[in-house]
Structure 1
Amino acid sequence: MKRRIIKQGHNTLTLTLPAEWVKRLNLKSRDEVDIFERENTLVINSPCNHKEKSCEIDIEGFTVPLLWRYFQSAYRSGCDEIKILFDSTKKEYEDAYHYYTTQFEYSKLGEKVPPKPAIAMIQEVTNRFIGIDIMESGKGYCIIREMAEVSIKEFDHSLRRIFLVILQMFDMIIDSIEKNKIQDPSLCKEIHTIDLNVDKLVDYCSRILNKIDTHFPENKKSLIFSSLYILELIGDEFKYIGKHLALTQKNVKEVLSLAKLNRQHFERYYKLYYNFDRKQVITFGEGDFEVYEANYRMKNQLHGDSRSISKHLMVVSKLTLSLVELRIQMEFQ
């Protein structure tokens, strides 16, 4: 759409606002709007008249993974209110919060959590997400609402926390390999719990990006979303490594040097993200070649769980390289 600039007075230029936009946001004379300047673009935003976003999710017939995907998508999209519908005649629901730690090979590491009533199960799912809670419940439904407004400051804190949590998981597996802390189910469960913090923070950052849509240009925002997704995938790799450490019957110290090299590799990216510098990019590139060469050199010498752990570490290094590619691209947006 185009608007003609109108001159009023000596130095004042004005534009009319689109009528449909004004009506949709319920704007009136003397209301204030925020204006953001981005090179050749002006963004006009009306945060004070923001319409609440709500959705309804019927979980009847859902598997636990499907429940998570629907709830997560609604949360990330920025919904202020989520209404959950469920079968009130169904007395027990499978535990959702501990679902992934009780399936497949993970089932060897502990007892299965007993089923729960619908509200108790939904409450545990809700507790996994930042800033929302169940505010109303009744027969066959509950309503979850946002408890506090999000801010860009919280986004910055949460993003940095993701980096630090991933480095914490690196330190945990390095310590376990170094001190031969294997066949310990508690390690796997602890890493899984810590990884849930990565997931929680990634979801929260995604929610903030969708709710505060005027802080980042759209082209840069897509790069940030992609980076968040990859950080979540990196966190998942530590769960798999933790499982191998918990189930292995043999010492896995052969992969210690590779784990340390990968930690250094990821930390370089972390520093590069906040302080982009050409020399640091070159150093990262040299380090990436070093990680790949070490993995190539060792892969035919490793067997069993050591080989599996090295494969997961190689996935982490490849994902870290992808993160650096996205960070470089941000410099050209």
Structure 2
Amino acid sequence: MIIGYGGIKIKRKVVLHGDSTLTISLPARWAKKFNIKKGDELNVEENEREIRITNDKEITLDKKQFSVGNLRRLGISYITSLYRSGYDEIHLDYNNNDYIETIHDVLSNEITGFEIVKQGNNYCVIKDLTGSKDEFNTALRRIWLLTLDLAGETLSSIKKNNVNNLKNIYFMDNSINKFSNYCLRLLNKKVYVNYSKTPLYYYLIKSLEELADKYKDLYKFYLNNKVKINDKSLETYDKINSHLNEYYNLFYSYDKEKMENLFNEARSTYEKTLNLNSNISIYLSSICNDIKDLLSVLVELNI
């Protein structure tokens, strides 16, 4: 028998116990990773020739220690990457005690639940103090709602020529980043959705985060260049936002006919963006194309 886990497929021999009981051994690496012990219950799902074995335990990861020196941007990436990967405790070494300000910024703006529990000369320890909570669905909905709000807020600000809303846009984008990191962490620590769908959810969350960045960049371009945007471009902008809203509705209440309509409308809108005579057409094309491409993810999630 072939067992697949973590992208790896291995063969296992079937062993006969007694007169009719057939058994196979679990991969030691997988059992250790999820702390599987005698007496634990596993989920066994039959699908034609395939048997899928899963568990409801969180991944147990060891502590991680590394040195960032004075590298601010790289240090931020290390911390957020380890957080997303599921580590519960991180020991950081740095060259200057002022680096602690960078760590505080990351914990405030990018990460949920991590706090500094120990601090010394040129080092600190940060740890997850939230415990294990199944908040994936709540956090994912927050990402959706914040992304929709950000899309609407950027359009409204441009229509009203509001040049003082960038700080609010940044706060919304930071919140999206924070909830996205939290969702990705939960996916890595424990499968909160159907195991086979986990990569799709991972891709969806990363895509929504990047989509929010593109809306923010569009608004920044508008502010920095003080461009005048014609009515046709604003109408297209509004149409793209309506596609995103419809995607959100279908994500939580899937309908095949509405999905078919959204496929056609999003494709039509994207083609229109390619012919727009506007300074922001490249941003609108990119955003609409991302929404259009994400439609296939929604289909796969509902198969």
Partner of 2:168: 190
Gaps of 5+ in 2: 1-10
Q: How far has the Cα of 1:7 moved from its partner?
A: 5.2
How do 1:250-265 and structure 2 match up within 5 A? 250-254=227-231, 255-265=233-243
1:231 and 2:208 matched: yes
Identity %: 23
Q: What does the per-residue CA deviation read over 1:268-301, in whole Å, with 9 as the maximum and x for residues that have no partner?
A: 21122222322112111221133124323422xx
The answer to whether the 8 Å contact 1:6/1:14 transfers is: yes
Q: Mark the CA change 1:240 to 1:23 in structure 2 (over 3 Å): closer, same or farther.
A: closer
Alignment check: 8 A CA contact 1:81 1:144 kept: yes
Counterpart check, 1:86 vs 2:94: yes
CA drift of 1:82 comes to: 1.0
Structure 1 pair 169–26 and aligned structure 2 pair: CA distance change class (3 A): closer
**Could you list the per-position Cα deviations for residues 171-200 of structure 1 after superposition, in whole angstroms to 9, with x for gaps in the alignment?**
21221122222xx2x412221221111111
Structure-2 change in CA distance of 1:280 and 1:28 (3 Å)? closer
Could you tell which deviates more after superposition, 243-252 or 261-270?
A: 243-252
The SS at the match of 1:47 is coil
C-alpha distance in 1 between matches for 2:291 and 2:33: 43
* 3-state SS, counterpart of residue 142 of structure 1: strand
1:311: how far off?
Answer: 1.8
- RMSD of aligned residue pairs (Cα, Å): 2.7
Q: How many residues align?
A: 288
The answer as to whether partners of 1:180 and 1:251 remain within 8 angstroms in 2 is no
Unaligned runs of 5+ in 1: 92-116
Q: In structure 1, what is the Cα distance between the partners aligned to 2:189 and 2:17?
A: 35
Cα 1:26–1:180, aligned 2, differ >3 Å: closer, same or farther?
Answer: closer
Q: Is the 8 A contact 2:251 2:298 kept in 1?
A: yes
Aligned match for 1:158, one of 118, 139, 150 = 139
Amino acid at match of 2:147: I
Code of the residue aligned with 2:215 in structure 1: it is: F
Measure the CA separation in 2 of the matches of 1:200 and 1:213. Answer: 19
Change (3 A) 1:231 1:58: same
Task: Kindly state the Cα deviation for residue 234 of structure 1 after the two structures are TM-superposed.
Answer: 0.4
Instruction: Give distance in 2, aligned partners of 1:171 and 1:19.
Output: 49
TM-score (norm. length: structure 1): 0.77
Q: What SS does the corresponding residue of 2:40 show, helix, strand or coil?
A: coil
More strand by share: 2
What are the Cα deviations for residues 179-223 of structure 1, in whole angstroms up to 9, with x where unaligned? 222xx2x41222122111111111111100100037432x42222
Please tell me whether residue 37 in structure 1 is matched to residue 45 in structure 2. Answer: yes
Q: Which amino acid aligns with 1:203?
A: N
**Equivalent runs, 1:110-125 vs 2, <5 Å:** 117-125=98-106
The code of the aligned residue for 2:105 comes to E
Residue from 276, 279, 284 that aligns with 2:254: 276
Note if contact 2:143-2:180 (Cα within 8 Å) is conserved in structure 1.
yes
Pairing 1:41-190 to 2, within 5 Å after superposition = 41-45=51-55, 47=57, 51-62=60-71, 64-87=72-95, 90=96, 117-128=98-109, 129-152=111-134, 154-181=135-162, 184=163, 186-190=164-168
TM score, norm. by length of structure 2: 0.84
Contact in 2 for aligned 1:75/1:207 (Cα 8 Å): yes
